[in-house]
């Protein structure tokens, strides 16, 4: 039973991190391999804030989110756009953006190591237990989950009820058709990319509340976010949320029942299953 609860709590925070990548890959169509590093940067931001001010790391969202937005916007304009312009095909763009963001991830890691050091980092905030169904869980996990759920709902509502959100959803379905109905695809893609980065950094803040991390841990999160997006279906938010919970549950089950060092293996098994059984994901669209 506690596997279920912990799995769901974990899944909730994973959902936010995966939403960020969904916006970058599903809408802006950029496979951002530096995604995990943005998450870790958010985590470090929260840590630094908490260590400095001793107030709730949730408040660090106030500066982490806008900073991440600005940073990712800059990344898109300076690094990604030249690749979009010079790419002769979507395939070539994917290769180039993978390599460029890959290189970027190393730069981020290097910078974070220089600023924060290479050691494992965590902090104790709200680590008192709370009781659910008679079992004890860290309050930090519950609060993190709650905040994540709120942010996810907010994002979902924004995407489905506002014009800007509609534009992003249109682009994720068909960029050229979206352009034909006078959506400024280039600007919306930049916005989606920046928003994705901001959402991911927010996820990092929330995850930092109960996970131990270090500067080079980002790649694992990139992989998990990608697996979640693929499992849920590229371009569909509902899929991402559901897949995040599935991964959270699977990971927790494996960690508890088999070995805590096999969490990535659990994610990969899910990945394999998706690729073999239903490559378009749970909510994805199958091409003819």
Partner 1 sequence: MSNLADTRQAVHPGAGLSGGELRKLLICIVLFALAALVPFVFGGYPLQIAISIAMYTALATSWLLFSGPTNYIALSTAAFFGIGMYTAAGGIELLPYPVLVLLAGAIGAALAAVVGLATLRVSGVYFVIFSLGLAELVRQVMTWLQHVLGTMSGIYVTIERSEQEYYWQLLLLAAVVYLVGWWIGRSRLGFALRIIGNDEVVAVHCGINTALAKVVLFIISSAFASIGGALVAPRWGYVEPVVAFNPFVSFQVVIMALLGGTHRLWGPVLGVIPFVVMWELISIEFPNQTTLLLGVCFLLIVYVIPNGVTGLIEDAWHRRDGSAKGPLQRAFAPLKNLLQRKSDHA
DSSP annotation of 223 reads H
Q: Write down the least CB distance from residue 274 to partner 1, Å.
A: 9
Q: Write down the least CB distance from residue 213 to partner 1, Å.
A: 15
Contact between 286 and partner 1 per CB under 8 A: no
Contact between 186 and partner 1 per CB under 8 A: no
> Rounded to an integer, what distance in angstroms lies between the CA atom of residue 208 and that of residue 40?
8
Query: What does the block give as tokens for 278?
Result: 């239903």
Q: Write down the least CB distance from residue 226 to partner 1, Å.
A: 5
Query: What does the block give as tokens for 227?
Result: 């697996």
Contact between 96 and partner 1 per CB under 8 A: yes
The beta strands (E) that lie in 122-276 are given as 129-132, 135-138
b/e for 253-275, b at 16 or more Cβ within 10 A?
ebbeeeeeeebeebbeebbeebe
Residue with tokens 């290097």: 110
Which of 130, 166, 223, 282 touches partner 1 (CB under 8 A)? 223
Closest CB to partner 1 among residues 51, 265: 265
Residue with tokens 């559901």: 242
User: Cβ(123)–Cβ(208) under 8 Å?
Assistant: yes
Q: Write down the least CB distance from residue 94 to partner 1, Å.
A: 6
Q: Mark residues 43-82: x for contact with partner 1 by CB under 8 A, - for none.
A: ------------------------------------x-xx
CA 185 to chain centroid, in Å, comes to 22
Contact between 102 and partner 1 per CB under 8 A: yes
For the chain, the residue count is 288
Which of 61, 68, 168, 230 touches partner 1 (CB under 8 A)? 230
- Contacts to partner 1 by CB under 8 A: 31, 33, 79, 81-83, 85-86, 91-92, 94-96, 98-100, 102-111, 113-114, 216, 219-220, 222-223, 226-227, 230, 259, 261-265, 268, 271-272, 275-276, 279
């Amino acid at each position: 039973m506690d596997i279920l609860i912990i799995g769901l709590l974990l899944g909730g925070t994973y959902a936010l991190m995966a939403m960020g990548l969904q916006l970058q890959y599903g809408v802006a169509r950029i496979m951002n391999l530096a995604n995990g590093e943005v998450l870790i940067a958010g985590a470090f931001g929260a840590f630094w804030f908490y260590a400095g001010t001793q107030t709730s790391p949730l408040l660090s969202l106030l500066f982490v989110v806008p900073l991440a937005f600005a940073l990712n916007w800059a990344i898109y304009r300076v690094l990604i756009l030249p690749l979009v312009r010079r790419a002769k095909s979507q395939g070539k763009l994917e290769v180039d953006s993978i390599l460029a963001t890959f290189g970027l991830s190393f730069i981020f890691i290097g910078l974070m190591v220089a600023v924060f050091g290479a050691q494992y980092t965590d902090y104790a905030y709200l680590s008192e237990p709370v009781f659910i169904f008679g079992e004890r869980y860290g309050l930090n996990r519950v609060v993190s989950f709650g905040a994540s759920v709120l942010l996810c709902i907010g994002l979902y509502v924004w995407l489905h009820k506002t014009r800007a959100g509609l534009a992003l959803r249109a682009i994720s379905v068909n960029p050229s058709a979206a352009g034909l109905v006078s959506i400024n695809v280039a600007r919306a893609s930049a916005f989606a990319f920046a928003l994705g980065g901001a959402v991911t950094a927010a996820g990092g803040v929330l995850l930092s509340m109960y996970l131990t991390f270090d500067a080079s841990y980002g790649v694992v999160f990139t992989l998990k976010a990608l697996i979640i997006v693929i499992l849920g279906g590229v371009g569909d938010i509902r899929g991402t949320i559901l897949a995040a919970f599935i991964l959270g549950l699977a990971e927790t089950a494996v960690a508890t029942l088999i070995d805590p060092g096999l969490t990535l293996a659990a994610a990969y098994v899910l990945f394999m299953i998706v690729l073999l059984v239903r490559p378009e994901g749970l909510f994805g669209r199958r091409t003819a």
